[in-house]
Structure 1
Amino acid sequence: MAVPVSPARRCLQCAAFLAAFTVVMTILLVSTDVRVPRSRKLLNLSEDLDFRNVVQDDPQLISYIQAVHLRYPQGSGTIDGNQSAPRLLPLWTPLVAKLLRYKRGGVFVEAGAYGGGRPSDTQWLERSLGWRGLLVQSNPLDFLALRKHTRPGSSCLLGCLSPMPYPKEVSVRNAWKQVPDSPADHLFSRVKCFPLYSLLLAVNTSSVDYLSLSSDGSELQVLKTIPMDRVNINVIGVQWHETRAEDMLSFMARHQYHLKKKFDQFYIFVHQRVET
C-alpha cells in the first residue's frame, strides 16, 4: 500500500526541482553568453559562402547566372535620336568615347552603376552610340534606382564582382547612406558575387570596349581574377581609393595598360593595342 505524500513534502520537492532548474539554466546562459556590439546584431553572422570548387567557366555556373541572376534588356539597344544625354555626365565618359574613336555598337560592363545616386558611366554611350552591355549593382536600393532607368541595351545583375576566381556570398549594406530611425544606422542583406569572367561568359562575350569598375575597395582583387589571355578589354576605368596607387599602376602596366588620365580617384587606363 502506497504511503501518501504530505503537502509539506510535495512543496519541498517542487522547491528543490525549481532550484536545480534555475542553477542549470543560469550555468547554460553564462557559458553561452557572447557579447556582440549592438551594431553587429543586425548582421548575418554566418560564414561567407565560398564555392571554391567551382571554376570561373563552369558551364553549370554560367547557366545558373543566366537563369537566375541576369535581368535581360527589354529592347534592341538601338539608337534613339529623341533621347537626350544624361544631365550629369561623368567627366571621363567623353574621354572614353574619344579614346575608342566614337565607336558605334560597342560593349561595356559597369560595376557599381548608379551607386549612391551617381550617374552611370555608360548611359550616354548606350543612348548616343548604340552600345550594349551589363550593369552590376550590389546595393538592393541602388539596384531599384538602376531598374528605373530605361536601358534597352543593358542586362542587369543584382550582385557584385567576386574578388576571388570563384563565386562568393557576402553581406552588403542595403543603403548607401544612413537609414533614419534604424537601430544600427544600416540594414544588411546577403548577395552573390561572381567572377567578372563568369559574367562575361553569361552575356556571351569575351571582348569589352569599356569596363567601369567600382567595387568598394576590392577593385584590384577583381582585376586579378580576370584571365587576360582569354579576355580583351580596351579601356578600363577604376575607382581607386587606396593610397598605394603604385600597386594598381604596376598591375596594369604588366598587362599592357597605361594610365591615360586621372579624375580625382577615378583612373582611366587604355590598352596599348587601342592606340596603335
Structure 2
Amino acid sequence: MRLPLVIGGHIFRQGSVIVTIIALVFVFIFVIQHMTYTQTSGPSTGFIREAVDQALDSINIRFKGRISPISTEYNLLDLDETDPRLAELAAEKCTIEWMNADRLQQDHPCVIETIRRRYLHPPADLDVPYNLVAPNKADPSVGQATSILNYLGNQTKGFFIECGALDGEHLSNTLYMERTMQWGGVLIEADQTSFGKLLSRRRKSYALPVCLSLQPYPTQVTFKVTYAIGSVQESLTPEQSKESNMLTLQCFPIYSILLAIGQTRVDFFSLDVEGHELRILKTIPWHKVDIKTLAVEWDHVGEKPLVDYMGPKGYYVFGRNTVNVGNDLFFAKNDTRHR
C-alpha cells in the first residue's frame, strides 16, 4: 500500500514512489550511522530503535494513517483535525491554480480555506426582511418541499443544501423551509446573473457562485449559461467554446463545501444540475457525511442508475415527483424508515 508522505510541510500525492524511496534511503543511512556508533560506544538496542523512530518521525511518514482504499476512491487526505500539519498546508502556496492543477484532496485545507475566503457568502441577518418578487407565495417549489417535510414530520430548524438554486425564489425547493420552518443551509448557483439575484433576495442561508465538481477534487469547467437549465459542458467544438453564453467557472466537491461551512449533517439535499446528478453523488464520501433525505432530478440520468447507486449507500426511494419542471426521486436514509 502506498504511503502519504509529508516533507517540510508538503504532502506528496499517492504515486510519488521516487520521493518515498529517497526518504527511506535517508532513514537507512541514519540507522547505519547509529549502528556504527553502537559498535564503538555500545548504546542499548532500545536506543537504536528509538533513533529509527525519530528518523521516521522527522520525515513525517504516517505509517499509522496509511491511505485506505475508500480514502483513495474519494481523494481524501484523512488527516486528523488536530494534526499540526493542517495549518501549514492551509497557507502553503495556496492558489486556485495549484489547487486545480494538483487535484488537491476534498478535505485539503487549501481547498477549504479557498472556499471560505473567496466564494462563501454569509446568510443575511435574521432581522433583515426578504426581498422577494412574490412574497405572498409561501412555497414556490412544485411539491419537493411538501414531500420532504411530510417525511421528516414537519421538522423545524433543519439544514439543507440546494444545488441549482437559481435566483433563490423561483422554483426554490428550500425557501418555504427557511421562511416558515426556520431552516438554514447553503444555496449553490453557478449562473452568475441568477446568483446576483439570489443575493438580492436576502436569504438566511450561505450562498456560493460555483458549480459542484464532477470529480473528487476542485476543477475549472466551461459552463453554458441558460436560465434555469444552465449546465457544465465537457465536450465542445472550437466554435461552441466561443459562444457568448459559455463561461469558465470554478467547481468544488460538495464535501469540500460542507467542510468549509462546518456542517456535515444534512437534513435535505436538493440536487438539480441538468444531467450530472449521478456523477456528483459519486464524489460524496458517504462514510463522512450524514444526509437524511435527497431530491434528485432524474430527467437526464434515468431512475434506475440513481436507484442502483443509492441503494448500496443505504438509501431507498420514498417518493417521486413527475411535474415537468421537477422530475425528482425522493431518497431517504434506511435508518429513517420508521417515519
TM-score, normalized by length of structure 1? 0.73
Give the alignment partner of residue 290 of structure 2, picking from 199, 207, 232.
232
- Using the alignment, how far apart are the partners of 1:168 and 1:185 within structure 2? 21
Distance of aligned partners of 1:51 and 1:109 in 2 relative to their CA distance in 1, 3 Å threshold:
farther
Give the alignment partner of residue 64 of structure 1, picking from 114, 118, 125.
114
Distance of aligned partners of 1:77 and 1:250 in 2 relative to their CA distance in 1, 3 Å threshold:
farther
Give the alignment partner of residue 329 of structure 2, picking from 253, 267, 270.
267
Report what 2:214 is aligned to. 163
Contact persistence 2:189–2:210 (CA under 8 A): yes
Report what 1:54 is aligned to. 104
SS in 1 for 2:287: coil
Report what 1:189 is aligned to. 247
SS in 1 for 2:197: helix
Higher relative contact order (CA 8 A, sep 6+): 1
Q: Partner amino acid for 1:233?
A: I
Q: Is structure 2 residue 202 aligned with structure 1 residue 150?
A: yes
Q: Is structure 2 residue 143 aligned with structure 1 residue 91?
A: yes
Contact persistence 2:255–2:284 (CA under 8 A): yes
Q: Partner amino acid for 1:56?
A: Q
The gaps in structure 2 that reach 5 residues or longer are: 1-98, 230-241
Distance of aligned partners of 1:169 and 1:190 in 2 relative to their CA distance in 1, 3 Å threshold:
same
SS in 1 for 2:249: strand
- Using the alignment, how far apart are the partners of 1:143 and 1:78 within structure 2? 19
Distance of aligned partners of 1:88 and 1:206 in 2 relative to their CA distance in 1, 3 Å threshold:
closer
- Using the alignment, how far apart are the partners of 1:268 and 1:51 within structure 2? 36
Distance of aligned partners of 1:193 and 1:97 in 2 relative to their CA distance in 1, 3 Å threshold:
same
SS in 1 for 2:149: helix
- Using the alignment, how far apart are the partners of 2:128 and 2:145 within structure 1? 19
- Using the alignment, how far apart are the partners of 2:177 and 2:156 within structure 1? 9
Q: Partner amino acid for 2:114?
A: Y
- Using the alignment, how far apart are the partners of 1:125 and 1:272 within structure 2? 23
* Structure 1 residue 158: Cα displacement: 0.3
Structure number with greater Rg is 1
Q: Partner amino acid for 1:218?
A: H
* Structure 1 residue 115: Cα displacement: 6.4
Distance of aligned partners of 1:127 and 1:87 in 2 relative to their CA distance in 1, 3 Å threshold:
closer
SS in 2 for 1:150: coil
Please report the RMSD computed on the Cα atoms of aligned residues, expressed in angstroms.
Answer: 2.6
Q: Which has the higher helix share?
A: 2
Distance of aligned partners of 1:243 and 1:232 in 2 relative to their CA distance in 1, 3 Å threshold:
closer
* Structure 1 residue 236: Cα displacement: 0.6
- Using the alignment, how far apart are the partners of 2:293 and 2:214 within structure 1? 20
Give the alignment partner of residue 104 of structure 1, picking from 151, 156, 162.
156
The gaps in structure 1 that reach 5 residues or longer are: 1-48, 179-183
- Which is further off, 133-142 or 234-243? 234-243
Report what 2:306 is aligned to. 248
